[in-house]
Amino acid sequence: MNTSDYKKGVMYIIASAFCFALMNLFIRLAGDVPTMQKCFFRNFFALLISVITLIKTGTPFKIGKGNTKYLVIRSLSGGLGMLCNFYAVDHMAISDASMLNKLSPFFAVIFSVFVLGEKANRYEWAAVICAFIGTLFVVKPSFNFEAASSVAGLAGVAGGLGAGLAYSFVRKLGMRGENSMIVVAFFSGFTTLMLTPNLIFNYTPMTGKQWIFLVLTGLAAAGGQIGITSAYAKAPAKEISVYDFSIVIFAAILGFVFLNQKPDILSVIGYVIIIGTAVIKWYYTVKKYSRTA
């Protein structure tokens, strides 16, 4: 890998993080639209973009043999994780919700043991434990599960868990040679269909302003997906994934400027623990691969 590709990979992944932070902001600015309705339109617009991309690139929509069941599990876990993340974004500071969603790499370590048969070493398990400790500072559990803050915090953690499981199956599909755009299109189509009955029977009328923010949500999500895909095409995940945590900085700035949200000191301590753990894990991974290269 040359220096130019590495720099491009870093720029792409930071741009992706910014787009996903914008997505979370637009979700919140869409107001009192039900969470499931927000998710429907986010995936509907992503489906349109992925289908147009497949058509423009001349990629046939053909699923690899034996991959359908993995695509379904990836879509179910990713869809449920997304619902939980959207709920968290609607009910807590967007920087907190973004941080909890970024627990997905740590959950992926756990799921990789069962899904991929990979063995996590003691350093990776230590990272999972440290990330969990950081989570406690962000969620601040009161063990009063009727409290809105507790429910939102648990939803945020569940969102990261769902995303971690989904990423494990994305990795499995990649190892089986499945086209990445097919994975994106299948996920978008599956979740759109999954949420359609709720839209039909529980549709809530939206204002022009809410429509605009939901369209912007879809565009920002597409930008984030394109950015992260481009980033990992330029540089290995082990070398640039740590920059994905810049979403927390972007979300904190956007939340302060547009929503007057200020993370409390406990949340900031949680951010430091989780991001610090991610940086150490990244450094350890890079050093390990450089020794074996």
Consecutive 10-residue averages of pLDDT for the chain (293 residues): 75 91 95 94 88 89 91 94 94 91 83 80 84 84 60 91 87 84 88 95 96 92 80 70 84 93 90 88 73 59
Please check whether residue 21 is in contact with residue 89, taking contact to mean a CB–CB distance below 8 angstroms.
Answer: no
Domain spans of the chain?
A: 11-292
Which two structure tokens, joined as six digits, stand for 162? 């769902």
Residue 293's pLDDT is: 54
The label of the residue with tokens 């869409």 reads 30
Cα–Cα separations (whole angstroms), residue 77 to 24, 32, 73, 165, 257 = 19, 25, 6, 6, 33
Exposed, middle or buried, 274 (CB in 10 Å: 0-12/13-18/19+)?
buried
Instruction: Give the Cβ contact number of residue 146 at 10 Å.
Output: 7
